[in-house]
Structure 1
């Protein structure tokens, strides 16, 4: 079943469950109870993950839980504060919580029970491409946007961009998020992204962060750890296989080059495409498929980041390690996705660009013209570290009524 059809079916189910939303409005809320969730409820990842792990080591002035729709993930975590949504305790905690902390959209945690709640949106990166209202205004017809406006007026709990507070990494993002979410800038707070704290703490990475701990700690034996993190081509027929084999990816030759230079190429698909490459490249000693949803433990061990249109470039730039842009399908992508906030070439002009795998390998192992030791995107991250601490302080002020917003 295609993703569009799945989305329509889920939306229909949520519409039919609207009576439960109305019921959730009248359930008394615990003002010191916060529920976290991420990645459409399927993964333990992104900014809420690192905030949750920070909370586990500290004693905040509020009660907190993680709620997931993924039963296998719930069974794996084995934590009293990690709940399965479709259980009596999971449903009750969600009904009673006053605050939700999300990373993607309202469907990170079951929308039909969102009545009477405030949403704190941590989001999942500094946006290169347009979001929410901005994207709709650019790409949709006026009629479609008008119909969507009516639909979300009737079913407000289903509006995927609903948020009451947003956390961003720098002042220059407040205007963008304000426009995308139709939220006043006074409700957008510059506190940093919790997930970026781990970029400077790889020695602390253990099994609570990733199942790949043993693998990650073997990477110090390589001269270069090269991580490729391409963007998911939503709305097109392309997937990560196209980005490999349509652009001169010769695994045998690339593996030879990597082996000769004692280097490893780690391919990290978008979490939507984690299974696309399964078993496809397992016979190559120096090419590895990283099949976890969360890339941030991997980034802590990465020497060279290769990406294309992903906002991960803003985060990794803080490490001052080399970044190579590989927009293999540049003309096609920009023609299909005309929704960038910035001019791609101007914003990222200081980073080298390659347009197929031969160019990429040549740049790394032959030309070696890779810039390091500089952060060309410093204005997009005002903080290096301690973002979790700042966000927790914000939440404590919020739940205790100490947060002051000038009206």
Structure 2
């Protein structure tokens, strides 16, 4: 980071992550911050790339884990590449990403163009999951396998690849020649994230974006790809959110494949990527599941596990034992890294830390009370009509960093709101008075409250 010291800096795009990075730079280096670059947002210290190309500055820093490639390519059209830097977040540290272009060895465009020139018919379905296989991709993939559709899943998550191979399920390592060929040959490409869409897609292929949740967080507009189909859960979520963020030829209100699972019987394959011991445990004990969202401001300065959650775990464990409740805590992998040593040296009777990766939905299915804050998991849980507690101890700070919420927080959080450990324990034993509010919000978020989202999607891809 020293190369930025005493330099004139722009940062792109304007997001909670980039705002936190700007605060980190200002706190640790002597920089002259010139402003943010963002092609969709307007405001003080916000610029379009065209507005700054003739101004005097030293560097543009791009920090966008999912979209830095498309942003970099756009900026190269106007700005000298020596002035453009990419920052990656690795092991909870900001790191300068060097020569990403040299490491980009994809041949998808080459293979796909040959297929089109030679009029070769594409077949099959490929699910694309960079980083990890998320739940909507997982459950639709399994549904297709069960119904004898030729499907494949590509990911760079080594643990999940190993489990798929042990189960003899069709999978390929992402960013290999094999995956490039597979992607080029597939008729249907299915995503549930937006972090690996900046590659060549033939006009003869069909793209489906399942996405991964509807929540309180604001999102930046994504314009690097126009999907054939975007899958959502209601007309209201489309109008209030998705049509303003994504480009798609059609927005289909089908619901999410992962929510099918919450409403139907469980099969053995459903437990793929799931901690099976915890799953069995959750079926026979009273469980509260705590799933906090990631805080972008956590990347500022040195941290220990004590800085990341406002708990005294020893008194928390005693309180949980007193009321005969077990708390399962599912932390974001970035956060859980700080807890490894603490977990190894602790032995709690009523607190269990969920592994860093893995599908939480089988456990969610048997959860008695959900504890969250600003996460979209709360809205899926509405389909089960069980109590939710919103542990929003840092609401003011989080909301400021996010430039506010997409919706009115108090109106769209149907549960007790608590800020301390003591209030949290008390809320677990209170009478549930939010049933009516849960139903009202559930009806806004979900036009269809059944278990047939996968069936509807299957009708598209089996043609």
Same fold, TM exceeding 0.5? yes
**Alignment-derived partner of residue 46 in structure 1:** 135
CA displacement 1:275-320 (0-9 Å, x = unmatched): 3332424411210111134221121111100111111111001100
Distance 1:168 1:347 in 2: 18
With over 3 angstroms needed to count, the CA separation of the structure-2 counterparts of 1:57 and 1:279, relative to structure 1, is farther
Q: Tell me if the contact between 1:206 and 1:213 (Cα under 8 Å) persists in the aligned partners.
A: no
Return 5+ residue gaps in structure 1 as ranges: 135-151, 153-158, 401-407
1:32 is aligned to: 123
Can you give the 5+ residue segments of structure 2 that lack an aligned partner in the other structure? 2-62, 66-85, 90-94
- Structure 1 match to 2:252: 189
In structure 2, what is the Cα distance between the partners aligned to 1:192 and 1:226?
A: 26
- For residue 201 of structure 1, report the CA deviation from its aligned partner: 3.6
Alignment partner, residue 388 of structure 1: 454
Taking structure 2 as the reference length, the TM-score comes to 0.69
Match of 1:264 in 2: 326
SS at match of 1:133: coil
Residues 247 and 328, structure 1, Cα contact 8 Å, conserved in 2: no
Please provide the CA RMSD for this pair. Answer: 3.1
Specify the SS of the correspondent of 1:269.
coil
1:128 aligns with 2:194: no
Give 1:212 deviation, angstroms.
Answer: 1.3
In structure 1, the partner of 2:88 is: 6
1:57 counterpart = 2:119: no
Q: Partner residue of 1:351?
A: 415
Q: Compare the two structures and name the one with the higher strand fraction.
A: 2
Structure of greater Rg: 2
Q: Tell me which residue corresponds to 2:82.
A: none
Q: Distance in 2 between matches of 1:177 and 1:171?
A: 10
CA distance in 2, matches of 1:10, 1:20: 22
Deviates more, 1:74-83 or 1:85-94: 85-94
Deviation string 1:212-249 (CA, Å, 9 cap, x unpaired) is: 12321122332x2000111111255379x889757641
* Deviation for aligned residue 1:194: 0.4
Partner of 1:303: 368
1:294-373 → structure 2 map (5 Å cutoff): 294-348=359-413, 350-365=414-429, 367-369=430-432, 371-372=434-435
Give the number of equivalent residue pairs: 361
| 2:164 equivalent among 54, 77, 100 | 77
| Cα deviation digits, residues 116-149 of structure 1 (max 9, x gap) | 5442110001132222328xxxxxxxxxxxxxxx
CA contact (8 A) 2:108 2:180 kept: no
Distance 1:333-1:65 versus aligned 2 partners, 3 A rule: same
Tell me the distance in 1 between the aligned counterparts of 2:423 and 2:154: 44
Trace 1:62-141 onto structure 2 (pairs within 5 A). Answer: 63-78=150-165, 79-107=168-196, 111-112=198-199, 114-116=201-203, 117-133=205-221
| d(CA) in 2 for partners of 1:265, 1:99 | 40
Deviation above 6 Å: which 4+ runs of structure 1?
A: 1-4, 7-11, 241-244
CA distance in 2, matches of 1:315, 1:394: 24
CA distance in 2, matches of 1:280, 1:202: 37
Distance in structure 2 (CA, Å) of the matches to 1:15 and 1:177: 34
Bigger fraction of residues in helix: 1
Residues 386 and 275 (structure 1), Cα distance of their counterparts in 2 relative to 1, 3 Å cut: farther
Check whether the contact 1:230–1:268 (CA below 8 A) recurs between aligned residues.
yes
What is the CA distance between 1:12 and its match in structure 2?
A: 5.5
Evaluate the alpha carbon distance shift between residue 120 and residue 280 of structure 1 in structure 2; reply closer, same or farther with a 3 A threshold: same
2-side partners of 1:209 and 1:162: how far apart? 31
Q: CA deviation at 1:48?
A: 0.6
Cα offset, 1:272, TM superposition: 4.4
Describe the SS at the equivalent of 1:74. helix
SS at 2:143's partner residue?
helix
Residues 54, 169 of structure 1: alpha-carbon distance in 2 compared, 3 angstrom cutoff: same
Native 8 Å contact 2:106 2:180 kept in 1: no
Tell me which residue corresponds to 1:170: 234
Give SS of 2:451's match.
Answer: coil
Report the alpha carbon displacement of residue 11 of structure 1 after superposing the two structures with TM: 9.6
